A and B are shown apart, each in its own frame.
Chain A
Amino acid sequence: MNAATTQKHPLDGMLRTDRIPHIWCPGCGIGTVFSSSLIAISSMGTDPMKTAVVSGIGCSGRGAGYVNLDSYHTTHGRAIPFATGMKLANPELTVVVFSGDGDLFAIGGNHFIHAARRNMDLTVICVNNLNYGMTGGQAAATTPHLAKTSTTQRGNPEGPFNLPLLAYACGATFIARWTMLHTRDLTQSISEALTHTGFSFIEVLAPCPTGYGRKNKLKNSDLLKVYQEKAIIKNGANPAETILDMEQGITLGKFVEYDRPTYADNYKSVNCD
């Protein structure tokens, strides 16, 4: 029945197929998030020459290497400043930042908050796998309280960031959160974020079976089952009331969308009179 392996995958045109299979582990959700992003970018119908993907360092950071568009694999945490420079130098570009929670919120945390404060016209897709996956599953700024990682063997004493609330407080004008299982809603949100003018932030929860899953006795599909069973979809929810708790529930949805002048608008109004 598997006769048609000669046919091409519908996304092959967007991929650097000579680099596929990618390095992501079996069961890792980054591939699914990446695939949703590619579907959203290709369905936009914009000129591929005017779309660029920027990644930082980490597992998700490899994304830039697999997409068949102009793409940049930047230094650790510096995906947003690089993307900011690109956008300001060439405002016609649609710039997508595809990176992980460690890159965007730990080493790159300051860049994130200031880009959101300035309302840079970027689309930031953050793949949140709840730990530092590539370096061996250490506790990150997003690791849930009491979760076990290779550096918190007795459970994480710290609490995690609430990323949608952080983004909202910093001034992001489009905020959504989905899991990799909600691929349709995720693709829809990414499409909306791409057309939104201003700083768009989408957090996507993805399992890390090798790092986070192994330490917390969660097999490949266990974390996905939690995501499926605990998901509470609440579009328009107040970001301060969104929760990410494996017991109580995980609030998903498009939380915030509003307009305010972007950095480029403000810069022009001050300097180009």
Chain B
Amino acid sequence: MKFWRVPLDSDEIVITRGVVHIIEDRCKGCGYCIDYCPRDVLEASSRFNSKGYHPPAVKQPDLCVNCHYCEAVCPDFAIFSVEAPAQPI
């Protein structure tokens, strides 16, 4: 991450990171996780799941900060994120 000046407490602050997991066969393709991801991590895919819907795909895995919003907004219990080692800023 770029700063115009390095914050004084930059050695104490870390950015959380997450890894997104998608249970593709539960997805119904509503797209809410893609629309409402605050970091624009996900994108629509052209793949089909076993029910004929297009599940999301991870576009920018490095941007995920493990906020769990996709997990909270998904109506189908099809997506969640787990914590990955944090990175210093």
Contacts and interface: CB of A to CB of B under 8 A. Distances in A.
Contacts of A36: 72
A-side interface size class:
20 to 34
Given A4-B19, A5-B23, A31 B36 contact: no
A104 B74 CA distance: 25
A220 B54 CA distance: 14
A35 B75 contact: yes
Interface residues of B, number: 32
Interface string A1-38: 11011010111100100001110111111111011100
B26 A20 contact: yes
B45 to A, nearest CB: 9
Contacts, number: 88
A181 B72 CA distance: 9
Nearest to B75: A31
B21 A22 contact: no
B58 A26 contact: no
B57 A1 contact: yes
B75 A29 contact: yes
B72 A35 contact: yes
Contacts of A27: 28, 30-32, 75
A224 B75 contact: no
Contacts of B30: 26-28, 220-221
Given A1-B58, A1-B61, A2-B57, A30 B24 contact: no
B76 A21 contact: yes
A5 B24 contact: yes
B18 to A, nearest CB: 12
Contact of B75 (A1, A9, A10, A28): A28
Interface in A175-225: 180-181, 183-184, 187, 220-221, 224
Interface of A: 1-2, 4-5, 7, 9-12, 15, 20-22, 24-32, 34-36, 39, 180-181, 183-184, 187, 220-221, 224
Interface of B: 19-26, 28-32, 35-36, 51, 53, 55, 57-58, 61, 69, 71-78, 80, 82
Given A2-B58, A187-B72, 16 more contacts: A1-B58, A2-B24, A5-B22, A15-B77, A25-B28, A26-B28, A27-B30, A31-B75, A31-B76, A32-B74, A35-B74, A35-B77, A180-B73, A183-B69, A221-B31, A221-B35
